Structure 1
Amino acid sequence: MKFTHDVIVIGGGAAGLTAAGGCALFGLEVALIEGHKMGGECLNNGCVPSKALLTAAKRAAEAREEKRFGVTLAAPQVDWSGVHQHIRDAIAGIEHHDSKETFEEMGCEVFLDHARITGRQTVEVGGRTLRAPRIVIATGSEPLVPPIPGLDGVPYLTNENLFDLTEQPGHLVIIGGGVIGMEMAQAFRRLGSEVTVIEPDRPMGRDDPESVDVVIDVMKSEEVRFITGKAEKVEADGDKVHVYTDGGECVTGTHLLIAVGRKARVSGFGAEEIGIATGRNGFATDARRRTSVKGIYAIGDCREGPRLTHVSGYEGSNVALEIVTGLPTKVDFTALPWVTYTEPEVAQIGLTEAEARDKHGDAVTVVKEEFSENERAVAEGYTKGHMKMVLKGKKVLGVSIVGKNAGELLLPFTQTISGKSSTFALGSAIISYPTRSEISKAAAFSAWEPTVFGSLPKKYAGLVAKIRRTFA
């Protein structure tokens, strides 16, 4: 078979772009295929627009505290058209990084069309048959829409159309208390909408409960309403929507947002026909992200596993390296970080306390430092939250942080958890004062305090002092 390319990448989101760009920069002939918008979910209806909306909401919240630190501000006036334009501007300011032209400059042949896999080494696109010894599937995911009776007769929002709203919701009802649901609940409430979150379990269930409780308390103080229950039925009523829960409540809003999770995009491009195996929610892959069909990889949201933009980029890099060098590369999520960008933020890396105790039992210890003891936090007046370091001996298993800019504090722990640094090194590091990063040093130092100031070091110090007194 005569190959047209060295590798074919299907999908122009974070995973596909990283894989395609990496291979192209090494000089391989790459076909990059995107059937919708370059940049994928993150750029167009995920990370970028959501963080832009959160920024506008944060500005409104700051102004709402009219007098603080001896400074008086005017009460906020929210112009929804301006907020909407800010979201569009944020996307426009970033999209050139992911554009067709940028990847053509890297050396990719870019196809903006629908792809169909027709064989182990062949893909049809735009009337052409492309052939390559390696195919990378990076088709992403889409919002999971639950089978709630009546939902198909009601106009509802998901992250795919939420940021296209040209009018501000009067009352936004959100089904789902995960990352998207919680971030959007706080954002829309701060911008002036009424907000109700319906969630059958604990909000942000994968995060440390102590950290999540801090966020929930803040959001309740901002008048976000939480209902514990399952949405059983939805009804349209003119320009209103009624959501009935299994607890007997009826919530009436102007807009409905479905935010109950993601579904891997595995159908519609020939994967089933050539026998690529799927799991519960996505393509089944091994640690090298190889599918059941030789020579075909699946990376990012379309395969089973964590769905995060930085994970997609990581897997794209790994697969590119494997294709370029021929050497196997495996994913390692021991030090996997994630952040929920509520205010305060919730940041997690590695195991939560509950996960660590399930795995290691009584061998687990926890060090906790409060931001109320961090001098930068005190000076800024943002003292809500804490850092929890979960340890087995002196080895860090995980870190949970809730507080202002908590996500910015995770970086050193990507090294300590992976073994590329240590809590001892972090505890003895020189850190700029005053910074919130000092809480990382404080937690690391606390982990070593019983050892550093234990009985043996004290005996040694006493011996040295005795010798000095004797021979001085």
Structure 2
Amino acid sequence: MERIKTDILVIGAGSGGLSVAAGAVQMGADVVLLEGHKMGGDCLNFGCVPSKALIASGKAAYAQSHASAYGVADHVPQVDYAAAKDHVADVIAQIEPVDSQERFEGLGVRVIRDYGRFISETEVQAGEHIITARRIVIATGSSPLVPPIPGLDSVPYETNETVFELRDKPDHLLIIGGGPIGMEMAQAHRRLGCDVTVIEGAKALGKDDPEMAGIVLEQMRAECIEIAEEALAAEIRGQAGAIEVETKDGRVFKGSHLLMAVGRKANIDNLDLEKAGVETHRTGITVDDSLKTTNKRVYAIGDVAGGLQFTHVAGYHAGIIIRSALFGLPAKVSNAHIPWATYTAPELAQVGLTEAEAREAHGDRLEVVRFDFEHNDRLIAERKTAGRIKVMVVKGRPVGVSIAGHQAGELINLWSLVIANKLKMKHVAAMVSPYPTVGEINKRAAGAYFSPRLFDNQMVKRVVGFVQRWIR
């Protein structure tokens, strides 16, 4: 048994863990990194990267069959599903070196390819190694939640950890779960030639603003994706190629393949956290607003901390850890400026409060500003006008932004900057956007906020009239 002493021990080589390890070692700390599975974690291997690659394949197929509006003949795409999966694998392979063991060892990190478990408040065992660290960062991420639906244990099914290895195109893909993962995979597979049914126990895209989610769902239904809501799965039966899902209200959905996409669970089961004095709750590890656990030497970041489950959140958490653990400076987490996006077509994006949340928090002080994508010249030219931006404003300051439409995930970046830096609508209005760009939508939304103050204001009109009478 080898004993190792280090400054920082990172458990998990996903997005957050890698960011902590890279930052800490380059600032002079001694760092040990544990990873029992794949370097790069869920995002690189099973999540963000492969899903966006498959979505890109679906977009290419859809463009071929919907080209006539641009003066180009429609063409039925000849989809090679296995080749699309080769594209996915190639994208992962191109990004892999950035997250590789070799790169991190080159930076000076000691990488141990084994799972870790606590044996005391300051020690972690990983295989034949016992590591003692001044600070320990748990960054083990999350994995697919598979609920105990009767019959599921006897029927073959996919999760996001297996679906990208599937080589034969499903004839009819049943997806249980209408959240971001389920809806992204539904549209990608539909565009690649599969029949698709989404079975959602509540509302599809239910965590997003319903007005904006409705814009996305309308398009998905127009693409012949069946979306069954308030359809809680009660029983699953059948065999490979012939699967049935029966819901509590008696509806039965039939398909050839099944994808489970009902949510995520924190990867904490094998860490022996009780030996470290680290407490947990229903969705993950208990942390304070500086990401410290109930053991002051141990931090938890990313999905395992039980909050927002996004790769960029894990990266943001890593910055908090660097500031706190390396420099001893105060650093607290805030979710107010954290954006997220669902990469359907049209896209769906959010930062800050939704309209419902803002109304509850701010009451009559809230103003809601809307601007429809159909008034953007660039999107008119590209025939992608289905969409809307909605900005929640309190005393001139945005407190939340919801966007549904083409490039919503890009448009939301500006609003994260605005909210993070406590800027006001006047600062967005002062921006100059090149014409014609999709980005003009943000400036036009700010214009929609000021327009009634200027054009419907009788005092403004009297002042202008007075000035015009006296100007020579």
Q: Give the TM-score taking structure 2 as reference length.
A: 0.96
Q: Structure 1, residues 69-100: CA drift from partner, whole Å, max 9, x if none?
A: 11225320000121010010010010111001
| Mapped pair 1:120 → 2:121 | yes
Measure, in 1, the Cα distance between the counterparts of 2:298 and 2:451: 50
In structure 2, relative to structure 1, the CA distance for the partners of 1:100 and 1:237 (3 Å cut) is closer
1:62-461 matches, cutoff 5 A:
62-228=63-229, 229-237=231-239, 239-453=241-455, 454-461=457-464
CA gap 1:412/1:236 in 2 versus in 1, 3 angstroms: same
8 A contact 1:196–1:224 mirrored in 2: yes
Any idea what the Cα deviations from partners look like across 1:134-184, whole Å, max 9, x if unmatched?
000001111111111011111111101011101111111011100000000
Q: What is the CA RMSD across the aligned residues, in angstroms?
A: 1.5
CA apart distance, 1:424:
0.6
Maintained 8 Å contact 1:22/1:321: no
Residue 270 of structure 1 and its aligned partner are, at CA, apart by 2.1
Long gaps (5+) in structure 2 = none
Aligned equivalents of 2:67 and 2:331: distance in 1? 54
The residue identity in structure 2 corresponding to 1:25 is Q
- Aligned equivalents of 2:219, 2:97: Cα separation in 1: 37
1:235-257 CA-to-partner distances (Å, cap 9, x unmatched) read 12463111101121111111111
- Residue identity opposite 1:179 in structure 2: P
State the AA in 2 paired with 1:465: Q
Q: Distance in 2 between matches of 1:135 and 1:237?
A: 45
Identity fraction in percent: 44
Shift of the alpha carbon at 1:66?
A: 4.5
TM-score by length of 1: 0.96
Which digits, 9 at most, give the CA deviation of each residue in 1:402-461, with x for residues without a partner? 111111111221122234432112112111000011110010111122334434443433
2:5 alignment partner in structure 1: 4
Q: Deviations over 1:279-304 (max 9, x none)?
A: 11100000100000121000011112
Note if contact 1:394-1:448 (Cα within 8 Å) is conserved in structure 2. no
Specify the alignment match of 1:30 in structure 2.
Answer: 31
- 2:44 corresponds to 1:43: yes
**2:275 match: secondary structure:** coil
Tell me, in whole angstroms, the C-alpha distance in 1 between the residues paired with 2:296 and 2:72. 65
Moved more, 414-423 or 228-237: 414-423
Maintained 8 Å contact 1:9/1:19? yes
SS at match of 2:351: strand
Question: How far does residue 343 in structure 1 lie from its aligned partner after superposition?
Answer: 0.3
Q: Report the 3-state secondary structure (helix = DSSP H, G, I; strand = E; otherwise coil) of the residue aligned with 1:32.
A: strand
Structure 2 partner of 1:464: 467
Q: Distance in 2 between matches of 1:154 and 1:381?
A: 43
TM-superposed CA distance for 1:198, in Å, is 0.6
CA contact (8 A) 1:244 1:251 kept: yes
Distance 1:5 1:436, change over 3 A: same
1:338 maps to a residue whose letter is W
2:240–2:257: 8 Å Cα contact kept in structure 1?
Answer: no
List alignment gaps of at least 5 residues for structure 1. Answer: none
Is the Cα–Cα contact under 8 Å of residues 145 and 258 in structure 1 kept in the other structure? yes
Alpha-carbon distance, 1:363 to partner: 2.0
1:19 maps onto 2:26 in alignment: no
Q: SS of the residue aligned with 2:284?
A: coil
Report the CA distance between 1:3 and its aligned residue. 7.1
* Residue type at the aligned position of 1:395: R
Letter in 2 for 1:354: A
Q: 2:142 and 2:95 mapped to 1: Cα distance?
A: 21
Q: Is the 8 A contact 2:175 2:258 kept in 1?
A: yes
Question: Conserved in 1, the CA contact under 8 Å of 2:287 and 2:300?
Answer: yes
